[in-house]
């Protein structure tokens, strides 16, 4: 298609008409600009029609129509969960050419659900007596006790052993039978942190945390967190997935095998995880008294299981020991390691709580809402050319215009000196932890928000060729970690109608976030994690991670979306508290014992949507939908509001309910049966501890009423947006067309 040049229509006019138009104030030029805008829309639409001829470039709404031309069996579209039917339609011809094979079923499962898959034809793992005239290479019938790697795979997707026949059907949990096909699915995603030398790119270093025993924890907060594999991209349907192709937990034996080959100089077989191009794990260290950053070589890594250190126990005489199951690192005795950074992958259910995933779309939607009615349609408040924007980086040198600071504290200090009414953006470009020198306790970070002011603190990248430009950042690739308390002051006058807004996006805050007495207009936590580091174990009450102090802030709105927060306490009356797609509560010791409230807003109405609350909730009034209140909820005013499609346990006091569990299930049942239903119909989580890959994820054995009880038919709670029941239903429907006659498939969720 032809490319439009600026004022193309005006340039086509004869020069005499352009001269006369200029003499009269250019009214014709203004008119042609309006006409040219419409012309651009028409040409863009024509170009789009051409793109819509092809499945690779067509708009999403065109995909079902192309599928209809191929006779593709329709499935439910769940684009909002990041799963498109585009690949399913595009690969239909390839499916049909290899119909009934394990390779097709594997690719089909991946295309329909978005979950990596591995297919096992169970008859090939049956223990059978071989015929001497037809000897086949089959899995070993007798397990070798000396083969630790094979034993570690036993019972899983890559099990190398054969098994006796299982007479149960696939629907009742049968695994090994002639007619069974097992589809192993990985629901957890693998998120890559970093990708280059931390000395070259500020966004590529993740700080490890040293514990009291001398070990280093890969998770910046210092909790145990397993390392995950970085799956390889499969480019052909004829490729059968292997362990290195799926987002599973890294095994110590697999890492040890790769490192051992490197130590012995063995070239074949090639390493599967610690590859030369893009290894799953890289470790960088800085020794005491040195400013240089050194990478730990592959042949100096020893993968093992690190026990809890005992007093007086010396460290093993190894260059570096790594425990991938718990994310721990230990160095040899006498090695003066001063700082450690890693590049690794961690596992989690979805895009929630901040991370290296793309947050630009959510941030733009939020920016448009903050712009208000005074802005142009679709214009975000942070897009304006007059925005004050600076960067924060530990490694990038400060430019002559003062646009890059070495710490967030320095950038905020400059923001606090600006006049009220400004819009500012502070881009944190490091995944490294930020704290004062020697990790000494620091004074709280004071942020001041004036009348009509807007401040965005975002973790993201900043193009190197645009260091001095405003409104240029990419909210992805970075998970900033801030250690210490943050206090936000609303400095607007009491009679103001716009007290300003503070938006925090993509941060992991290890400390308390307080809103001081004042007149703040709005506080938004988007894709953040706020953990206070105090877990309340042994009867010690943990302070709230996010607190709104009493005094003023009557017009303040608190909004938490796609975030993780240890607890929230609103001490005084504010306008509203809203939480969307968030995990509230949890932590160490959350599996048993009474819990302190995870949300307290006794003088404030609360709107809670698609969120999970691990502790008690106490609010003034309540409007909730698709939520899980694991430990109950109390609303003081029950004549207003409504609770819909949520789990509300016995003993809760809430306004009118609509299709809530377990009320819906026990309606019309006898007293004895009601008690039994209440005991069985309760949320079961893979984990309630922050840092665990399964944090907040419902177990597969959880009651189906909760796993499909949301208004959309998805699961209740924070991960409703994943639409996992719909993905599973789509896969079961698609399997009917491509599964061989007489076979039955079983879906096995590995994670």
Instruction: Considering only residues 468 and 661, tell me which one the structure prediction assigns the higher pLDDT.
Output: 661
pLDDT of 203 > 80? The answer is no
pLDDT of 432 > 70? The answer is yes
pLDDT of 7 > 90? The answer is no
Instruction: Considering only residues 746 and 6, tell me which one the structure prediction assigns the higher pLDDT.
Output: 746
Name the range with the highest mean pLDDT among 394-403, 410-419, 429-438. Answer: 410-419
Q: Give yes or no for a contact between 498 and 521, defined as CB atoms under 8 angstroms apart.
A: yes
pLDDT at 1: 43
**Percent of the chain's residues with pLDDT above 90:** 38
pLDDT at 104: 92
Q: What is the pLDDT of residues 517-555, one digit of tens each?
A: 999 999 999 999 998 754 433 333 446 789 999 888 899
pLDDT at 591: 44
pLDDT at 727: 93
Low-confidence winner among 299-303, 331-335, 370-374, 415-419 (lowest mean pLDDT): 370-374
pLDDT at 590: 43
User: Where do runs of H (alpha helix) occur along 319-439?
Assistant: 360-371, 408-415
Cis upstream peptide for 685 (omega within 30°): no
- When pLDDT is averaged across residues 450-473 and rounded to a whole number, the result is 73
pLDDT at 568: 94
Q: Given pLDDT bands bounded at 50, 70 and 90, which one contains residue 139?
A: low
Low-confidence winner among 28-42, 49-63, 639-653 (lowest mean pLDDT): 28-42
pLDDT at 376: 44
Q: Given pLDDT bands bounded at 50, 70 and 90, which one contains residue 201?
A: very low
The CA distance from 415 to 410, in Å, is: 9
Phi–psi pair at 244, nearest 5 degrees:
-75, -5
Total Cβ atoms within 10 A of residue 452:
17
- The residue count for the chain: 751
Domain layout of the chain by residue ranges? 8-51, 60-188+726-749, 192-348, 360-666
Max CA separation in the chain (angstroms): 101
Q: What is the pLDDT of residues 76-101, one digit of tens each?
A: 888 777 788 899 999 999 999 999 89
Q: What is the pLDDT of residues 583-597, one digit of tens each?
A: 999 765 444 445 788
DSSP of 509-570, one letter per residue? EES-EEE-SB---EEEEES-EEE-S---GGGPPPPPSEEE-SSB-TT-EEEEES-EES-EEE
- When pLDDT is averaged across residues 230-245 and rounded to a whole number, the result is 85
- When pLDDT is averaged across residues 454-474 and rounded to a whole number, the result is 70
- When pLDDT is averaged across residues 445-460 and rounded to a whole number, the result is 92
Q: Given pLDDT bands bounded at 50, 70 and 90, which one contains residue 131?
A: confident
**Percent of the chain's residues with pLDDT above 70:** 88
pLDDT of 289 > 80? The answer is no
Low-confidence winner among 203-212, 509-518, 679-688 (lowest mean pLDDT): 203-212
The model's pTM: 0.87
Choose among 223, 219, 208: nearest CA to 338: 208
User: In degrees to the nearest 10, what's the CA dihedral of 202, 565, 412, 427?
Assistant: 40
Helix axes 102-113, 724-738, angle to 10 degrees: 150
Cis upstream peptide for 368 (omega within 30°): no
Residue whose entry in the numeric block shows the structure tokens 């690739």: 477
Low-confidence winner among 322-326, 588-592, 729-733 (lowest mean pLDDT): 588-592
Phi–psi pair at 565, nearest 5 degrees:
-140, 130
């Amino acid at each position: 298609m032809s490319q439009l040049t600026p004022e193309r229509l005006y340039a086509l006019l004869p020069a005499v008409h352009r001269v006369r138009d200029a003499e009269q104030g250019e009214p014709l030029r203004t008119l042609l600009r309006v006409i040219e805008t419409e012309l651009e829309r028409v040409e863009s639409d024509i170009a789009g029609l051409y793109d819509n001829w092809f499945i690779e470039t067509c708009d999403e709404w065109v995909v079902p129509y192309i599928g209809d031309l191929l006779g593709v069996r329709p499935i439910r579209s769940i684009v909002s969960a990041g799963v498109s039917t585009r690949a399913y339609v595009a690969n239909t011809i390839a499916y049909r050419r290899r119909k009934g094979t394990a390779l097709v079923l594997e690719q089909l499962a991946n295309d329909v659900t978005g979950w990596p898959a591995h297919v096992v034809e169970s008859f090939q793992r049956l223990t059978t007596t071989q015929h001497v005239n037809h000897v086949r290479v089959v899995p070993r019938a007798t397990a070798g006790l000396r083969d630790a790697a094979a034993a570690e795979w036993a019972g899983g997707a890559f099990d190398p052993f054969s098994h006796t026949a299982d007479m149960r059907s696939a629907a009742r949990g049968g695994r090994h039978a002639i007619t069974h096909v097992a589809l192993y699915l990985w629901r957890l995603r693998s998120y890559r942190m970093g990708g280059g030398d931390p000395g070259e790119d500020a966004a590529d270093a993740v700080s490890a945390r040293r514990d009291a025993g001398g070990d280093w924890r890969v998770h910046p907060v210092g909790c145990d967190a397993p390392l995950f594999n970085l799956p390889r991209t499969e480019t052909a349907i004829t490729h059968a997935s292997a362990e290195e192709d799926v987002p599973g937990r890294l095994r110590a034996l697999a890492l040890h095998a790769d490192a051992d080959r490197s130590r012995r100089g063995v070239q074949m077989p090639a390493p599967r995880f610690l590859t030369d191009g893009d290894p799953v794990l890289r470790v960088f260290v800085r020794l005491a008294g040195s400013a240089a950053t050194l990478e730990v070589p592959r042949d100096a890594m020893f993968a093992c299981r690190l026990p809890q250190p005992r007093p007086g126990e010396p460290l093993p005489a190894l260059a570096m020991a790594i425990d991938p199951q718990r994310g721990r690192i230990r160095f040899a005795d006498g090695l003066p390691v001063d700082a450690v950074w890693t590049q690794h992958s961690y596992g989690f259910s979805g895009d929630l709580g901040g991370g290296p995933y793309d947050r630009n779309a959510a941030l733009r939607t939020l920016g448009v809402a903050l712009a208000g009615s005074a802005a142009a349609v679709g214009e975000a408040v942070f897009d304006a050319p007059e925005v004050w924007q600076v960067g924060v980086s530990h490694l990038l040198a400060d430019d002559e215009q003062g646009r890059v600071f070495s710490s967030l504290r320095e950038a905020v200090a400059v923001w606090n000196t600006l006049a009220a009414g400004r819009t500012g953006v502070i881009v944190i470009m490091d995944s490294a932890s930020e704290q004062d020198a020697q990790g000494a306790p620091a004074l709280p970070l004071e942020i001041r928000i004036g009348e009509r002011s807007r401040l965005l603190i975002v973790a993201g990248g900043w193009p190197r060729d645009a260091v001095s430009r405003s409104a240029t950042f990419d909210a992805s690739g970075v998970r900033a970690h801030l250690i210490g308390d943050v206090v936000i002051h609303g400095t607007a006058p009491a009679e103001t109608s716009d007290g300003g807004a503070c938006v925090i996006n993509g941060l992991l805050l290890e400390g308390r976030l307080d809103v001081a007495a004042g007149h703040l207009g709005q506080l938004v936590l988007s894709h953040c994690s706020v953990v206070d580091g105090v877990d309340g174990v042994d009867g010690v009450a943990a302070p709230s991670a996010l607190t709104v102090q009493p005094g003023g802030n009557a017009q303040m709105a608190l909004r938490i979306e796609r975030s993780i927060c240890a607890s929230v306490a609103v001490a005084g009356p504010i306008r509203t508290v809203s939480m969307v797609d968030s995990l509230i509560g949890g932590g160490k010791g959350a599996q048993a014992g009474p819990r302190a409230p995870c949300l307290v807003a006794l003088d404030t109405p609360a709107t809670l949507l698609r969120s999970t609350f691990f502790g008690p909730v106490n609010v003034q009034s309540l409007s909730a939908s698709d939520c899980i209140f694991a430990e109950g909820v109390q609303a003081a005013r029950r004549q207003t509001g409504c609770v819909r499609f949520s789990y509300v346990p016995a003993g809760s006091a809430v306004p009118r309910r609509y299709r809530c569990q377990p009320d819906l299930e026990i309606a019309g049942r006898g007293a004895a049966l009601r008690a039994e239903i209440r005991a069985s119909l309760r949320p079961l989580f893979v984990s309630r501890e922050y840092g665990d890959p399964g944090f907040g994820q419902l177990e597969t054995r959880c009651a189906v009423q909760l796993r499909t009880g949301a208004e959309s038919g998805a699961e209740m709670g924070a991960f409703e947006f994943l639409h996992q029941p719909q993905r599973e239903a789509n896969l079961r429907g698609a399997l009917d067309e491509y599964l061989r006659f007489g076979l039955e498939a079983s879906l096995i969720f590995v994670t």
